[in-house]
Amino acid sequence: MPTLRKALKASAPSLAVERRLWAEGHDVVVGIDEVGRGAWAGPLTLGAAVVPKDRRVNKIRDSKMLTETEREAMFDRIATWCVAWSVGHASEEECDELGMSEAQRLAARRALDALGLPADRVLLDGNWDFVGEGTSELLVKGDAHCLSIAAASILAKVTRDRIMRAEAEHRPYWNFELNKGYPCPRHKVALQGMGPSAIHRRSWVFMDHLPWAGVPRLVAPAPLLPARRHQLVLL
């Protein structure tokens, strides 16, 4: 594991929230974080992590604070340390067909189902409850301050980055191994010259600015009403 950079040493996430919930009798506390919401291509990925009460892994930080090399070095350590962990994806087609809010709910449900443990409490980064089962606790900047969310952020980020690097082998023009599907100058130039790949999100506004006439922009649907969300088929 690389030596932790000096700038990160004072920014360690803690178990304060998890310990409070454990003391209240909630044994299975799940941290959840997402990656890929702002990307133009590839899946939306959510990580879920249940951390142990009596063992720690040093150097866990919010995935955005770590380099790709640091995240890769931490991945196996976190995966073997967790009591349970999982990732859930919503494909680029599902992001287009459902809209991003419903796609995030779908990926969260898949991650929780794959965990293999019933969640007593779910810790979410941000101020939006996309789990919606009455078990959520919202933590603004939770990925920086809450250990289980920070662990989930690394598991999600490394998993999705590996997917995008694998896609780059078959779709070399868009530099997915470097940009992971996010907008950047080289990605924009590739879209102008080549148009979208099969894993680009066709409902996003960048589609309106391409000279590529062969692929129309899809229109994202309006958010589903709560009464209809149960109709989603979870695979």
What is the spatial distance between Cα 135 and Cα 227, in angstroms, rounded to a whole number? 19
- Of the candidate CATH numbers 3.30.420.10, 3.30.390.30, 3.30.365.10, 3.40.50.720, the domain formed by 12-166 belongs to 3.30.420.10
Query: What residues have CB less than 8 Å from 136, skipping those under 6 apart?
Result: 121, 122, 123, 124, 129
Residue 155 reports pLDDT greater than 70: yes
Q: Domain coordinates of the chain in residue numbers?
A: 12-166, 168-209
Lowest pLDDT segment from 54-58, 96-100, 124-128, 185-189: 54-58
pLDDT at 223 over 70: no
Per-residue pLDDT at 83: 97
For residue 71, pLDDT beyond 60? yes
Predicted confidence (pLDDT) at residue 53 exceeds the cutoff of 90: yes
Within the chain, strands assigned E span 29-35, 44-50, 84-90, 121-125, 136-139
Mean pLDDT score, 161-180? 97
Share of the chain above pLDDT 70, in %: 88
Residue 10, pLDDT score? 67
Q: What H or E segment, with its residue span, contains residue 133?
A: none
Q: What is the pLDDT of residue 235?
A: 43
220 or 79, greater pLDDT: 79
Edge-first strand order for the sheet with 44-50 is 84-90, 44-50, 29-35, 121-125, 136-139
Q: Read off the pLDDT band of 57 (50, 70, 90).
A: confident
* Structure tokens given for 29: 């506390």
pTM: 0.89
Residues 88-123: tens digit of each pLDDT: 999 999 999 999 999 999 999 999 999 999 999 999
